[in-house]
Structure 1
Amino acid sequence: MTPMMQNTYDISASGQAVRNRVLRNTYWLLALSMIPTMLGAFVGVSLQVPIFSGFMGFMIFMAIAFGFFWAIEKNKNSGVGVALLLGFTFFMGLMMTPLLTRTLGYSNGGQLIMTAFGGTATILAVMATIASTSKRDFSAMGKWLTAGVVVVLLAAVANIFLGMPALSIAISVLVIGIFSAFILYDVQRIVNGGETNYVTATLSLYLSVYNIFTSLLHLLGLGGSND
């Protein structure tokens, strides 16, 4: 092996090691983020914490969420970014209070929650595996997925006023599809070296997992039993 070939091999191996480390740290932090999420959900349901509702509630939620996004991104290279991310996941756990309270009101509420959790874990595992092993390039999906999120947000705002059950179901189905695809996109970006910060990567994956879980739970709740 010539010196030039050796240098190329060393650089490639080093880059692969960095990508593997980012992916590993992302998965660990994603798993850790579930703890404050569950804690926030437990506090919200136990204390029946008042949660924002209606259009103004939606705007307040978005303002707080984007405030967290900005702060996390600004501090992503320090422990402060990790702390802010975990604080955000606690906040998102609180925001599940109405959905969890309604679901737990069903006689099979606990089963519905575990089914949604299992379904979300399965989607994450399948999409992450495909992204890590497939030779197909998913990078072109980014702009279309972003456009899809905008459409879903606009539909969600409209349905605050319309209150149409059919539209609510359609939104949940779209959310599951869009954020499942986002897992493909985000994991492959890490694998290919397009994302090198595990805090930012974790935030992206967390939002996908959260939205898939809540949408699945919403759909499963339509078949909830009060018996």
Structure 2
Amino acid sequence: MQTQWQSATYDKGMDLAVGRHKVLRNTYMLLALSMVPTALGAWIGMSMQFMVRGWIGLLLFLGVSIGAFFAIERTKNSPVGVAILLAFTGFMGLWLSQFLQVALHFSNGGQMIAMAAGGTAAIFATLATVATVSKRDFSFLGNFLFVGLIVMLLAAVANIFLAIPALTMAISVVGTLIFSAYILYDVSQIVQGGQTNYITATLQLYLDIYNLFVSLLNLLMIFTGEKE
């Protein structure tokens, strides 16, 4: 009886490990695929010089984002969820084009964009590896990160209208730290079995990477931007 119980426990543990590995693998595959519509959206936005600011921009962004989050959550167990996610990343690429246009007004804009992309990739690879290899549970970060995110978002909304350079820099620094930590947290959730849906996991990691890139690019423009 004891041998049978041990065997059943072992088989159950193996099934859980295989399931978590599958979620992680599918998440990384979908995350890589999501960069295609993001790049396409950014290219379209830059071609048409897409630029929306102020209350109109904020309401548009919130409306599309909240609608997409709701739709993805409702369809996360079907292929429709993948389609909605990819459509949303295309919109995010369109929105990203505004930041890229600002960066390209600097003489070294292309270099800063490349540096921000490289830095984002390096941070993601490092922290994702730490979360995967160490198998440590980083769920304790959740509450701290959520509170920090809310405070940062409130400051960012206020700064849309205040346009205070020092606050912009502070938001970018805090954003870099928060979204880096969120990568660690979100990958850990998959590894520990706290997140079992790869579509939801992809959305979370995509937003981490997207906002980390924007934060790094803002910091590079502040400290290394060269006016033409």
* Shorter-chain TM-score tier: over 0.9
Q: Give the deviation of 1:26 after TM superposition.
A: 0.3
Q: Give the deviation of 1:67 after TM superposition.
A: 0.6
| Residues 9-68 of structure 1: CA deviation (Å, up to 9, x unaligned) | 11100110000000000001111101100000000001112x331133212211210110
Q: Give the deviation of 1:135 after TM superposition.
A: 5.0
Q: Give the deviation of 1:165 after TM superposition.
A: 0.4
Correspondences of 1:62-211 after superposition (within 5 Å):
62-211=62-211
2:152 and 2:187 mapped to 1: Cα distance? 22
Higher mean displacement: 182-191 or 52-61: 52-61
Partners of 1:55 and 1:157 within 8 A in 2: no
1:118 and 1:159 mapped to 2: Cα distance? 27
1:97 and 1:10 mapped to 2: Cα distance? 49
1:18 and 1:71 mapped to 2: Cα distance? 25
Higher mean displacement: 195-204 or 52-61: 52-61
2:101 and 2:161 mapped to 1: Cα distance? 22
| Residues 134-153 of structure 1: CA deviation (Å, up to 9, x unaligned) | 25431111111111111011
Q: Percent identity?
A: 55
Partners of 2:135 and 2:188 within 8 A in 1: no
Partners of 2:137 and 2:192 within 8 A in 1: no
Match of 2:218 in 1: 218
SS of alignment partner, residue 139 of structure 2: coil
Match of 1:15 in 2: 16
1:27 aligns with 2:28: yes
Higher mean displacement: 165-174 or 213-222: 213-222
Match of 2:3 in 1: 2
Q: Quick one: which amino acid aligns to residue 30 of structure 1? A: L
Partners of 1:52 and 1:61 within 8 A in 2: no
2:103 and 2:56 mapped to 1: Cα distance? 24
> Size of the alignment, in residue pairs?
226
Q: Quick one: which amino acid aligns to residue 207 of structure 2? A: L
Following TM superposition, where does structure 1 have runs of at least 4 consecutive aligned residues deviating by more than 3 angstroms?
A: none
TM-score by length of 2: 0.95
2:97 and 2:15 mapped to 1: Cα distance? 45
Q: Give the deviation of 1:114 after TM superposition.
A: 0.8
Instruction: Quote the RMSD (CA, aligned, Å).
Output: 1.2
Gaps of 5+ in 2: none
SS of alignment partner, residue 137 of structure 1: coil
Q: Quick one: which amino acid aligns to residue 147 of structure 2? A: A
SS of alignment partner, residue 2 of structure 1: helix
TM-score by length of 1: 0.96
